[in-house]
Amino acid sequence: MDTKFIISSSPHLRSNEDVSIIMRDVVIALIPATVLSLYYFRLGALIAILSGVIGAVLTEALIQKLMGKEITINDYSAVITGLLVAFNVPASAPWWIPFVGSVFAISVVKQLFGGLGHNFMNPALAARAMLLASWPVEMTNWVTPGVDAVSTATPLAMLKTSENLPSIFDLFIGNIGGCVGETSALALIIGGIYLLYRKVITYEIPTYYIGTVAVLTFLLGGFDFNIVVYHLFAGGLMIGAFYMATDYASSPMTKKGQIIYAIGCGILTTVIRFYGGYPEGVSYSILLMNVATPLIDKYTNPRVFGEVSK
């Protein structure tokens, strides 16, 4: 009997999933937050979402066309970047703010470094940092939900100034001022559970990130559980922990590395919130830990046995 052994190069694990399926799951996970953002912020949210997504998709298609590469806008990755950029701007921002942010995220942070999978930091968060540094007034003009939107402060800013805080229920469902897609902790948690169920992400980063913030906030906040709740549900912690810190390209590869990375994000977020001049620290904490990811990978990757001949 003639038996043939076929030897192929690694990797030997195979999966029917491709990039478009994974990215489609992320889009599905973001639907609850998208729906509630449109409900609370109406036209402002719609303009931000359309501008962000259109800017990201057009930029990706144009750059890939000019560079003679295959146009991959059908994989949903640009859609997710544009949507997350829109989620990180206020509903009062003019249309060009999320558009410019998406152009920057795709062209500079993603395509300049080689495209999908080669970016060393989260494109949407890098865009938010750029927008906040360039147009601080437009990026901090928060409004209340509803048709008659008026200027307001975010719950985290209210904590710093001891203003009248919204109820925990309003905080949880998103009936508060803030960025377009980060206000509803409920919607973001539902989407995060879906990503965990679909095994798009693992529990390490969200759990250790949120857990670190909870523990440190309890200790630094005078052992007040109400302060812990506000720090968990207000601001960008939920969207950051489930959708941004878990970015495949800019987070560590091993479970041990992911735990170290997540704890670092939690420490930085809490320190910035309590002692920094800016009430929110999620964006900068994740970006700083993105930069530290290669170092974390260096010391947490398993040892490779064997030798490759020269």
Question: Would 241 be classed as within a structural domain?
Answer: yes
Residue corresponding to tokens 């965990």: 196
Q: Could you report the per-residue pLDDT of 133-182, keeping only the tens digit for each?
A: 999 999 999 988 876 667 888 888 888 776 688 899 999 999 998 999 99
| Cα separations in angstroms, 172 against 11, 72, 272, 296 | 43, 36, 22, 34
pLDDT band of residue 6 (cuts 50, 70, 90) is low
Q: What is the pLDDT of residues 211-248, one digit of tens each?
A: 999 999 999 998 999 999 999 999 999 999 999 999 99
Is pLDDT at 262 greater than 60 in this prediction?
A: yes
Residue 240 included in any domain: yes
Q: Report the predicted TM-score, pTM, of the whole model to 2 decimal places.
A: 0.90
Q: Is residue 121 part of a domain?
A: yes
pLDDT reported for residue 17: 60
The answer to whether the Cα torsion of 230, 233, 234, 235 is positive or negative is positive
Could you tell me if residue 310 is inside a domain?
no
Cβ-contact 171, 234 below 8 angstroms: yes
Name, in order, each residue with C-beta under 8 angstroms of 195's C-beta and a sequence gap of 6 or more. Answer: 25, 26, 29, 201, 242, 243, 246
Look at residue 309 and tell me if it is in a domain.
Answer: no
Rounded Cα distance between 172 and 179, Å, is 14
pLDDT at 306: 64
Q: Using CA atoms, how far apart are residues 52 and 96, in angstroms rounded to an integer?
A: 9
Asked, for residue 13, whether it belongs to a domain, the answer is no
Q: What is the domain extent for residue 146?
A: 20-298
Domain membership flag for residue 105: yes
How far apart are alpha carbons 58 and 122 in whole angstroms?
19
User: What stretches of 106-243 show up as alpha helix (H) in DSSP?
Assistant: 123-134, 136-139, 155-161, 168-173, 185-197, 204-220, 225-233, 237-239
- Residue 127 placed within a domain: yes
In whole angstroms, give the CA distance from residue 19 to residue 37: 26
Determine the pLDDT at residue 63: 95
What pLDDT score was predicted for residue 256?
Answer: 96
* Side-chain-facing half-sphere of 216: CA atoms under 13 Å: 21
Total number of domains constituting the chain: 1
